[in-house]
Amino acid sequence: MAANKAVPYALGAAGLGAFLGIWQAAPSFGFISSALLPKPSDIPAAFVAEIKSGLWVDAVRLSLEHYALGLLCGAFAGVVLGILTGMSARFEWTLAWVVRVLRPIPGLAWVPFAILWFGVDQPAAIFIIAIGVFWIVFFATQGAIRAVDRDLIEVADAFGFSSGFDRLRKVMLPAALPGILVGLRTSLGQAWMSVVAAELFGVAGLGQRMTQASSLLATDIVVVYMLTIAALYGLMDTLFLAIQGRLLAYRP
């Protein structure tokens, strides 16, 4: 039984090892220039150099600030409007054409306005991240509210939870919470993509440092920051799963 449980980990380790081996071999044997693709063995030294220079710490700190504020703003707006449109058909009809017009516009298309309105500064990055997060959370929340079993609402009415707020607090939110959390978890990754996109245009952070390094063909440093983003996302996702487990502990 224990051996069977170890098989996925062994296969995963083997796959990762093969990937790193191929990556190391490609520039080592001249299949591709090391200036275009650094060897994995070069990455630790570049990482240490970035930390010693203080650039890595500053870039991570700034990007985490953009990330947290943009995620918070976008998720809050998405949950609130998702609940309102999910519970009220009239409110949904009022916003229907606004949503249809704005939803297809990608977050990057708002970059010129973000720069014009906020300058090349933190608020511009927060704005871009919030837009990217908003739509994911909005549709997840709206769908989760709509999917609440109508029988639960009838039971709530029978127990006297007739006001909209009481019904939302006692019935709708607990029933819709798993679906809302799915949207929030998805938005964690979308927010990191938006962070890099926003910072590539000059806002200080991980994206800006990647742009600076690539302009100097310092591809080992670019990879350092790519792996940093992957590690930060993995940490955020792990923490979110722990919080989600506690919030949904009431479920069988």
pLDDT of the chain along its 252 residues, tens only? 555 777 788 888 888 889 888 888 888 888 888 778 888 888 999 999 999 999 999 999 999 999 999 999 999 999 999 999 988 888 888 988 998 999 888 888 888 888 889 888 889 999 999 998 999 999 999 999 888 777 666 666 665 656 566 677 777 788 888 899 999 999 998 898 888 888 877 788 898 899 888 888 889 999 999 999 999 999 999 999 998 888 887 665
- Residue pointed to by tokens 């608020």: 123
Count CB neighbours of 49 within 10 A. Answer: 14
Task: Report the alpha-carbon distance of residue 34 to residue 41 in Å, rounded.
Answer: 11
Task: Please tell me the predicted confidence (pLDDT) of residue 157.
Answer: 62
> Across the chain, what does the average pLDDT equal?
86
CA angle at 233 for the pair 178 and 23, rounded to the nearest 5°: 130
Segment 215-233, tens digit of pLDDT:
888 899 999 999 999 999 9
What pLDDT score does 136 carry? Answer: 93
Domains of the chain, by residue range, sit at 44-247
Residue 135 sits at φ, ψ, to 5 deg, of -65, -35
Q: What is the predicted pLDDT for the residue at 203?
A: 84
Helix, strand, coil percentages for the chain (3-state, nearest 5)? 85, 0, 15
Q: What type of residue is 77?
A: A
* CB distance 70 to 125 below 8 Å: yes
pLDDT of residue 155: 63
What contacts 48, CB < 8 A, 6 or more positions away?
none
**44-247 maps to CATH 1.10.3720.10:** yes
pLDDT (0 to 100) of residue 65: 92
In this structure, what are the phi and psi dihedrals at residue 74, rounded to the nearest 5 degrees?
-65, -40
Selection from 73, 88, 83 nearest residue 173 by Cα: 83
Instruction: Provide the pLDDT for residue 129.
Output: 92
* 69/72 Cα distance (integer angstroms): 5
pLDDT of 166: 65
